[in-house]
Structures are given as structure tokens and as C-alpha cells.
Amino acid sequence: MSGGNDTLSMRLSPFQKIYLLLVAGFIVGPFLPVIIQSLAFRWAWPELLPGTWWLEQREKSMLPLAWDYVLSPYSRVWEATVNTVFIGLVVTAICLAICLPVARLLARESFAGKSAFEFFLSLPLIVPEAAIGIALLMIFIRMGLAGTYAGIIIAHLIPTIPYMVRMLTAVYQGLGRDFEEQAMILGARPLQILWRVTLPMLLPGVVAGALFTFLVSTNIFLLTFFLGQGQVITLPTLLFSKISGGNLDTTAAGITLIVTLPGIILLIISERFIKEEAFGKGFGS
Amino acid sequence: MTQVRLNSVRKQFGNFVAIENLDLDISSGELVALLGPSGCGKTTTLRMISGLERPSNGAILFNGKDVSEQAVQDRNVGMVFQRYALFPHMTVEKNVAFGPSVRGESKAEIARRLDEILEVVQLTPFRTRFPAQLSGGQMQRVAVARTLITKPSILMMDEPLANLDTKLRVEMRRFIRDLQQRLGITTIFVTHDQIEAMELADRVAVIFDGHLAQYDTPERIYRYPRSLDVADFMGATNIYPGKVLSRNRVSTALGEIDCLHQDDRSVGESVQVLLRAEALDMSTGPFTSEGSGMRGRIKARDFFGASVTYRVACNDQEIDVTENARRMRDVGDDVHLQIAPEQVWLLSG
């Protein structure tokens, strides 16, 4: 990091540095009050900083109030976290399975109605989530899927598939047919080709797409709220129920920080995972 | 040992006919080149033999058995792609062992065959490298090894020498030729380069626009092309319209030339006369008018190192003459040209 800072200060003008700092502040800024809040004992309006910090009152509570609540079974944070991660993983896996063949077709074949298909594919990004949610709820109640994991997973696939297809199509376009044909001639069956040739070569795109899908899924509130019917809670719905009263108290701040954890952990893992060196560089041509 | 036969094979993509009624017989152990300009259907033919494409009509037979409907994986063929298609995420070892590994061979057997084949292609010191760390020639040897380790009944190659520089080309040509003769494996390769075809192949199938134009030994295709297109593609430059005067004499704008009798030519027929540039004898000595003697003057000279090609003006025509570069003549020299009757080839015109 220090090396990066050196080049930063060497090459950038003061204006450019201020500009970057502003953007960084804009992104990181909103987290600050949440972090402060989670460590406060009492933080009432109009104080700029908490009137009483947890550290001053530590004989009254072993942990900061927020964390004490979050870690207690009453908060249902553990249950919501498990649900969120489970739903996210299943959605990602199903999304990959659906999108790989679609991306392959879009990248390699031209067929009548291809551009229309691509347009329809982006519809879920245009139509408001609430409209999709209401429509799905009407169907799912009749099918008995409302309030079930299956219902939520299906609902999460709708906004994630368009992103995944786009990302995978881009990486498929960079993968010539030669490699799979060569594997076929060498005697590999379709599943062996997928597992040993296609997926490893598509890995950067697959990881990026999977990461993105997982993050979107773990952040979806409205669809989960509609279709979960309060029976399946995830971190976003739990958070919303906490803050819906309008007051951001310390416990809500704690949950907010927990909500961001899966994404941050995943981001760090994938950063280590998609290393160009692991690929031995270049794609043959 | 596998003998390959294509029986009036036809391939159509939508409205485009890539291959029209192609008949081809390849003896077992033979090295055959499919030669033609790009887009002529030669690669489609290779892909149909490998099983990557299915013929629209007709049949492909291996040793008399129809394999047209057989899946690629079950044909036991080998193919070396033009760009080698080495798996970039695998080392040389893993690339070469891919075939036996997906076919479920035992670990011990794979290791034994891997050692053996890496020795054959002289890549043992490079076994843990990734493809990106290899030179073009090494990459091609990996591709060849990866194919041979599966013991294919037919070896196919797409433009095997196209991506190599001149020095490597000679080396790889010898390597492929030696390997093919040692293993006696039926080999088919595709090329658009007539030199590459002649350098390597036992027989050459010239394909134009999806039709088989000629299928013969390189020497016969070079000397006795069956059509103007083939002659042109094989690099012939001296082709003149003419008329058959008698069983072994033909008249052209260059003068009258002695030739050998060709059975399918009749007296009075209009023909195209092909005189290969290197078959012409050039001299500056006293002119004798007997035989096919022609007078001319050198207009230009192209030096190619081992050989030199002169452009000679002769009776208002121009003719190319290629000679060994041991002796150089100058532009403006008056010369006599002669050609032996057996070097004159008549094409229907």
C-alpha cells in the first residue's frame, strides 16, 4: 500500500488528490456514523459525537450495546446470516448453471430474434422490483411457494440472471472453440470438457459473475420481504424491520455492519483467487 | 493402420455449399495434403473426417466401416490445430496427459506413456512449463505429443507449418515426416501453401470451391496439372494459348514447340501450353533453329539466393526462366531458350 501511496503523491496534482479523496470519502463516509454508533452508549440529537461512549460505561455492559444485542439469540442475527449466505450460495450456483449455456449461445451463435432476446434479458433491470415482487407473490401464494426458501431463491434469480449472462457472454467471446473441440477429439465427454477445460479457462469471468450475483442476492430487500412473508428472514429484511421505526439506534448500526461482512469477506477471497499468474498468462493465440 | 474413404461427401451450411460430392481415397499409412485457397472447403473436409462436422450427404469410411454418425470421441482420431489450442491453464505434462486421463487410463500407464512421448518429441526438460513459456516450435511439439499419446488411427493437422519461421519449418517438416514414417500413421493435413503440400505429402488433393480438382502425387500435380486453375495455384507462370499442329508439335505466340503426344489431344485443337520456368534451358551460344529454339532478350532479373528468375522478352511475349544462381546473366543479354519435349505440358484451353 505504501508503494501505491508513493506513486500517488509523485504523479498526481493536488487537485487530482483532493478529487480522489472526495470520491473515497463519498463511498466510505456513510459507514463512519454507523461504526461510531455501534460503539456509542448514548448518542442523542444534537450531539455531533456520542455524549457517552461505551468505553466509559463498560462496567454496566461487557460489550458495546450494539454487539451485545447482535450476538444475543434475541436478535436473530445468526439465523438471518445463515439464511442470507445459504440463499446467496444457492442462487449463485443455479444462476451459473442457467447462464453458462445461454452465454455460450449468445457469444457463439447468431440466430433469428437474438437482439430481441438480449433486450428481454435486460427487462428485469428496467421493471421496478416492486412490480416483479407483487406479480411473483400473486403466483407464489397460489403455488404454495410464498414464505419458502424455494420462492425466495426463484425471485432472486430474476434480477441476477441479466448481469450473469452479460458477464459470461463477454468471457465466452474471448474463448475460441478450438480448445473445446481439441478436448473432444482427445476423447473428453461434455462434462469433462466443462470441468477441465471450459470452466478453468472462463474462471476470471465466472468468479466475477458469481461474486456479483452473490452480492446482489444478499442485498435484495424488497423481493425477499414480499416473498419471505416474515417466515424466512435475511439480513436485509432483519435490518429493515429494525430501522423501519425511523430511529437508527445502536443495535441497527450493529446489524448494518454485519450485513456488509459477507460481501467484504468474499471480495477479499476473490481478489486472492483471480490472480493472473495462476493462469500462466495468455490464451494460446 | 487405417484407410480412409470419402464417398460423395457433401456439406452444406444454410444455403452455402462448402463441399460438393467429394470422393477421396487415402491409403493406410499415407500422408495426404488437402490443398486449396482459403474458403475452398478443405478445413470443412478435415473437420468432417475428425467428426467435428457431420456430412449433409455421403459417407465417411474408416477401413470400410461407415463412421459418419459416430461421435468425435469414439472415432479415435487426432488433430493438431493451427494455433495448437494448448490448454493455457495446464503444464506441458498436464496438456499431454489430457487424452489418456479423460479416457480413464490408470495413473501408472499415463505416467509411462507420458515419459515415452515427451522423449520422442524432446520435451522432457520442459514438462513443468506452461504453454505461454514455450516457443512456437515447442508448442507445436506439445500439440503433436498430446495427440500421439492417444494412439490415434488417423492424425490430422491444420496448416502444420504455417506459424513457424523458415528455419523451424525445415526442422518441423523433417520431424513430422520422420514421426509419420516411423509410426506409419495415416496422416491428413490442410494447407493453402503449395510448397508446404509438396514438401510433406505423399499425395495432394487440390480443392477449389468445394470440388476436388486433382488428386495425385506432388510431382505429377506440379508437372502435369489437369486444369489451368491447378497450374495457376501450383505457381505456374508461363502459360500460352496455342494450337496442336501434329502429334508432337504445337504452335504458340512464342513460336513452334516440340512436345510429347498426349492421348487426349487431337490435331487442330486449341490448348494452353505450360512451360515450367525451371524447365527452360537458356544459352548464349550460337543459335540453332532446330527443335523448340526461341530467341529472346532478358528484361528483368529477380534474385532468390539459390535460384534466379529472368523475365525474357520473346516474340512480343514475356516468359519467365528460372536458373540456378551459380551463373548470373545481365539484363539486356540476348539469349536462346530451349525446352525438352517431355517438359512441355498441354492443358485444354
**Domain end point (choices B232, B257, B285):** B232
Q: How many domains does chain A have?
A: 1
Q: How many domains does chain B have?
A: 2
Residues B223, B294 within the same domain = no
Residues B209, B290 within the same domain = no
Banded pLDDT at B242 (limits 50, 70, 90): very high
The tens digit of pLDDT for each residue in A70-126 reads: 777 777 888 888 888 899 999 999 999 999 999 999 988 888 888 898 888 888 888
Indicate yes or no: CB of A280 within 8 angstroms of CB of B89. yes
Residues B302, B208 within the same domain = no
Indicate yes or no: CB of A185 within 8 angstroms of CB of B79. yes
Paired strand residues for A109: none
**Domain end point (choices B232, B265, B283):** B232
Banded pLDDT at A208 (limits 50, 70, 90): confident
- Residue B349 confidence (pLDDT) above 60: yes
* Average confidence (pLDDT) over B117-130: 92
Indicate yes or no: CB of A178 within 8 angstroms of CB of B83. yes
More confident call, A247 vs B175: B175
Is position A239 within any domain? Answer: yes
* Average confidence (pLDDT) over A120-141: 85
* Average confidence (pLDDT) over B229-234: 92
Residues B139, B278 within the same domain = no
The percentage of chain B sitting over the pLDDT mark of 70, rounded to a whole number, equals 98
Banded pLDDT at B291 (limits 50, 70, 90): low
Residues B198, B108 within the same domain = yes
* Average confidence (pLDDT) over B136-149: 92
> How far apart are the C-alpha atoms of B45 and B32, rounded to whole Å?
13
Instruction: Write down the pLDDT at residue A280.
Output: 39
Taking the alpha carbons of A265, A268, A272, A275 in that order, is the dihedral positive or negative? positive
Residues B187, B297 within the same domain = no
Residues B60, B203 within the same domain = yes
> How far apart are the C-alpha atoms of B40 and B50, rounded to whole Å?
18
**pTM score, whole prediction:** 0.75
Range of the domain at A254: 73-275
Residue in chain B lying closest to A187 (CA): B73
Q: CA angle, A71 as apex, A70 and A77 as ends, to 5°?
A: 55
b/e burial code for range A165-174 (CB count within 10 A of at least 16 → b): bbbbbebbee
Of the partner residues A179, A189, A282, the one whose CB lies closest to the CB of residue B85:
A179
Is position A29 within any domain? Answer: no
Residues B219, B343 within the same domain = no
> How far apart are the C-alpha atoms of B137 and B140, rounded to whole Å?
5
Q: For position B302, which CATH number holds?
A: 2.40.50.140
Instruction: Write down the pLDDT at residue A1.
Output: 39
The tens digit of pLDDT for each residue in A184-202 reads: 999 999 999 999 999 899 8
Q: For position B201, which CATH number holds?
A: 3.40.50.300
Instruction: Write down the pLDDT at residue B320.
Output: 94
Instruction: Write down the pLDDT at residue A275.
Output: 55
Instruction: Write down the pLDDT at residue A276.
Output: 46
Indicate yes or no: CB of B88 within 8 angstroms of CB of A183. no
Mean pLDDT, chain A, whole residue set: 81
Q: For position A174, which CATH number holds?
A: 1.10.3720.10
Banded pLDDT at A4 (limits 50, 70, 90): very low
Banded pLDDT at B263 (limits 50, 70, 90): confident
Interface confidence, given as ipTM, is 0.83
Residues of B with CB under 8 A from a CB of A: 50-52, 72-73, 76-79, 81, 83-89, 91, 98-99, 102-103, 130-133, 146-147, 150
Indicate yes or no: CB of A284 within 8 angstroms of CB of B83. yes
Is position A280 within any domain? Answer: no
Range of the domain at B276: 238-348
The half-sphere exposure of B223 on its side-chain side, counting CA atoms within 13 A, is: 10
Is position A208 within any domain? Answer: yes
Residues B190, B306 within the same domain = no
**Domain end point (choices B232, B250, B272):** B232
Residues B284, B210 within the same domain = no
- Residue A3 confidence (pLDDT) above 60: no
Residues B56, B144 within the same domain = yes
